[in-house]
Amino acid sequence: EHRATSIRRYLRNIKKIPWREAVQCVQYVQEKTRVNPNEYCDGPLFMSWDEARVMHGRRMEIGGHTRTHPILGHLEAEPDRTAEITGCYEDIAAEIREPPIAFAYPVGSDQAIPSDSEVQLPKAGFSLGFSYVNARPARFCDAIRYKIPRLHSEYLDDFDRFRLGVAFSAVA
């Protein structure tokens, strides 16, 4: 129980610092603890391109989420944000042979979304962007096209927890 709490606290705190510092922090912890996280994974943490192509072939939309999962609002340099967003778009289009429509911001809080997202996403080719602000849009309009709120649904949440989240979500 203490271990799980420590991990959650570490992840919450590391998401608050600039991306370069976060990468350095993770490397520092790996060096000091001599722990290789890959040794504790019993399988891949992400789906393969073959799995994505199968899902897409079954009419599922495959959207973007950056190339290396940085919190975009923590990347100071505009070229870094462009490389993450545009590179992600290009990778998906090349691998599934169709351009993606939607993008979901890593972490997705207001602070995690860069102020230039309304420019970056359409420039890359995306038509929609999803935040991780727990809310239901009152109506869809161009003003929220690249910051659409979504209802939270986490791994291991059951249906009752999801219903509770819907009941307590704000209307944006």
pLDDT digits (tens, 9 = 90+) for 112-129: 898 888 899 999 999 999
Instruction: With residue 94 as reference, give the H or E element that holds it.
Output: helix 78-96
> For 12-34, how does the pLDDT look when each residue is reduced to its tens digit (9 = 90+)?
888 778 777 888 888 898 899 99
The residue written with tokens 């001599």 in the block is: 34
Hey, what's the torsion of the CAs at 89, 92, 93, 98, to 10 degrees?
Answer: -120
Nearest partner of 61 among 127, 4, 8, judged by Cα: 127
Give the three-state DSSP class for 88.
helix
pTM: 0.76
